[in-house]
Structure 1
Amino acid sequence: MTVLVFGSANADLVFAVPDLPAPGVTVLGGDLRALPGGKGANQAVAAARDGARVSFAGCVGRDAFATVATAALRGAGVDLSRLAVVDLPTGCASICVDPAGRNQIAVAPGANLAARAAQVEDAALHPGATLLMQMEVPPAEVATLVHRAKDRGARVVLNLAPPAEIPAEALRRLDLLVANEHEAAVLGARLGCGAGADALRGALGCDVAVTLGEAGAVLAGAAGPLRVPAFHVTPVDTTGAGDCWCGVLCAALDRGLPAEAALRRAAAAAALACTRPGAAAGMPVAAETDVLLR
C-alpha cells in the first residue's frame, strides 16, 4: 500500500507577532523562522510520520529555499523520485502567527505552478495506492490526474484547499473530497447546492468530509453522515493542522482502518499539530497519536 501525494512544497517564513497585521499597519514581531511547508509536502510528511509509505510528486526551484522546502520530506523518509527541479523560484509562504495560534498567510506559488500530472506514471496509480492532492498546483493538472488515477483503480482523495475552480466532472470521480467550512461554502455556491457534507455529496456523488475546526468533522458517505469531535488542546500554531488531518486520514485509510477510526485518528493528530510551531515540522509521529487516542 502506498500514499502518493501530488502537490506543493514551500519554504514557510514564519513571523511570531503580538497581533495579526491589519491593513496599513506594521507589526513588530519576534525572530524569523524558515520552515518547510506547502500543503502537499505537509500532507506527505503527516502521512509518513503516521507510518505510511509515501511518495511525493511536485516541483522546487534551484535556490536555497528548495533545501528548506524539502527538509521535512527527507527527514520523514518520503520518496522524492518524482520531485522535479525547475527554473522557477521555490514556492514561499509568509506566515504571521499570534499568541492564540491564529495565522495569516500569503503564498507565492513559484515552482509549484510547474507541477505536472505527467510526473506520476500510470504504474503508480494502481488499486493499492491512495492518491492525495490539493489545489496549490495547477487545477488542470489535478483534474487530469484525478481521471487517470480513477481509470487505473487508485483511491483518489482531493483536499479542496485553497478553493480553486476544478471541473465538476473531475470532482464526481473522486472517492473522497475534503474541505473546510469556507471551502465547502465556495464549492456549494459554485454547484448551486448547500455547503454541508450531505448536500455536496448529493451534488457530486462522491464521499465528502467537511472539517469544522474545534467542532470536529463530518463525513457524508454511503452509510450516512458520520460526525467525529475534535480533541481539545491549547493551540500554539494552527498552521498545517488541516494538512495533518488530511495526511493522517489517508494514511489510516490506506492501511485499512474503517472510516470512523480513520477520522478519529486524523482528529487526534491534527490536535497535536496545533500544539507545536510550524507546519510540516509540527506533524506528530504515530506513537504520539496513539497515546492521545488512548
Structure 2
Amino acid sequence: MSLLVFGSAVADLLFRMDRLPREGETLLGEAGAPLPGGKGLNQAIAAARDGAAVRFAGCVGTDANGSMLHGALDAAGVDTTLLAATGAGPSGLACVMVDAEGRNQIAVSPGANLQAGAVSCLPGETVLMQMEVRVEENLRQLRLARDAGAHAILNLAPALAFPRDALAALRLLVLNETEAAWLAAHLGCGTGAIALRAATSTDVAVTLAERGAEAATTEGLIQAGPFAVRVADTVGAGDAWCGVLAASLGRGLPLQAAMRRANAAAALACTRPGAAIAMPDAAQTDALLG
C-alpha cells in the first residue's frame, strides 16, 4: 500500500558548535553547504528507504535550494509528481545548531512551504502530515483522506493548535515529550499517552527519546523499548521514527511492532550527522532489530 506524505521540504544550514548559545550570546561554529531537510521531506525519505512506495506533496521555490530538495527526494525513490515549485518566494530554510553532545536548536523559515496545497488521496492509503505547512491545508488534507477512505497520521510538530474534532478523525497522533506537554496544557489533561488519548478521542503515540516510545489505543498502553547507540546528533531522529512508523503501519504491521521498528530507525539516524542524509535503509534497520 502506498504512503502519501504531505508536508515541508526545507534546506538545512547545519552549524556544528562546541555548545549551544545562550540567550543573547554569539558563538562561532562551522557550517557547510545546505542539506536536504524539513519534516515532510525527512519523513518521506525515511519511509522510502524503509521500502515504502512514497508519494510526496509539498512546495519548493524555483531556486537552487528547491532543485536540491527535489533531487534528494528523487534520489531516494520518492514520487515527486505532486511536488510543486513556485517563483513567488524562496524555498524553506532552517538554521540547525548542533553541539558536541548531539543536542540541537533549530529555527525554520517556511518559505514556499506556506504555499503547499492538499492533494487527492487513494483509497486505503496512509497519509502522513506534520505542522510546517499551513494548518488550513492540513485540515483540508485530512478531509480529503477521510473522504477517500485513507488513514491519516499527524505528527504535531511543531506544536500548534489543531481542532479537537480534527484530532479525533486521525488514525494516529504522534508527539514527542515537548509536544505532548504543550498539547496537554492546551487540552487540560495529563501528558501521558493514555491521558492524551482520552482528551483527543484518537490513538496517540509519544516518543520518549532514549526511553523508547509509548502509545495508547482502545486496547490500552503499548510500550516499545529503546536501542542503545553512540549519538552523533539527534537532528531528524523524530522524522525517522514517524516515516518508518507510517511505512510499517502501511505494510500492515501491528502498532507495537511498527513502534519497535521506528525506534530502531530513529536510533540509527542519531548515529550520523544531518537529517535526511542520516535516514537508514531497511537492511540497516533489520540488522539492528536482529
Q: Which residue of 2 aligns with 1:111?
A: 112
Structure 1 residue 275: Cα displacement: 0.4
Structure 1 residue 24: Cα displacement: 2.4
Map Cα deviations across residues 27-66 of structure 1 (whole Å, 9 max, x no partner): 1122424110000000000000000000000000011111
Structure 1 residue 143: Cα displacement: 1.1
Q: Which residue of 2 aligns with 1:125?
A: 122
Q: Which residue of 1 aligns with 2:92?
A: 91
Q: Which residue of 2 aligns with 1:208?
A: 204
| CA–CA separation in structure 1 for the residues paired with 2:55 and 2:140 | 19
| CA–CA separation in structure 2 for the residues paired with 1:167 and 1:5 | 21
Structure 1 residue 72: Cα displacement: 2.4
Is the partner of 1:186 in helix, strand or coil?
helix
Q: Which residue of 2 aligns with 1:158?
A: 154
Amino acid at match of 1:56: F
Map Cα deviations across residues 240-276 of structure 1 (whole Å, 9 max, x no partner): 0000000000101101111111110000000000000
Given the two structures, how large is their TM-score scaled by the length of structure 1? 0.96
| CA–CA separation in structure 1 for the residues paired with 2:111 and 2:70 | 15
Amino acid at match of 2:77: G
Is the partner of 1:165 in helix, strand or coil?
coil
Q: Which residue of 2 aligns with 1:80?
A: 80
| CA–CA separation in structure 2 for the residues paired with 1:72 and 1:132 | 19
Among 136, 140, 154, the residue aligned to 1:144? 140
Is the partner of 2:81 in helix, strand or coil?
strand
Given the two structures, how large is their TM-score scaled by the length of structure 2? 0.97
Structure 1 residue 71: Cα displacement: 3.2
Is the partner of 1:81 in helix, strand or coil?
coil
**Aligned-residue identity in percent:** 58
Q: Give yes or no for contact 2:7–2:57 (8 Å, CA) kept in 1.
A: yes
Q: Give yes or no for contact 1:175–1:206 (8 Å, CA) kept in 2.
A: yes
Structure 1 residue 144: Cα displacement: 1.6
Structure 2 residue runs of 5 or longer lacking an equivalent are none
Which stretch of structure 1 is more off in the superposition, 179-188 or 3-12?
Answer: 179-188
Map Cα deviations across residues 129-181 of structure 1 (whole Å, 9 max, x no partner): 10000000001110121122123211110000001111111111001000011
Amino acid at match of 1:213: A
| CA–CA separation in structure 2 for the residues paired with 1:220 and 1:23 | 37
Which stretch of structure 1 is more off in the superposition, 188-197 or 33-42?
Answer: 188-197
RMSD between aligned residues? 1.0
Figure out how many residues of one structure are paired with residues of the other and give that number. Answer: 289
Is the partner of 1:85 in helix, strand or coil?
strand
Structure 1 residue runs of 5 or longer lacking an equivalent are none
Among 274, 283, 287, the residue aligned to 1:287? 283
Q: Which residue of 2 aligns with 1:100?
A: 101
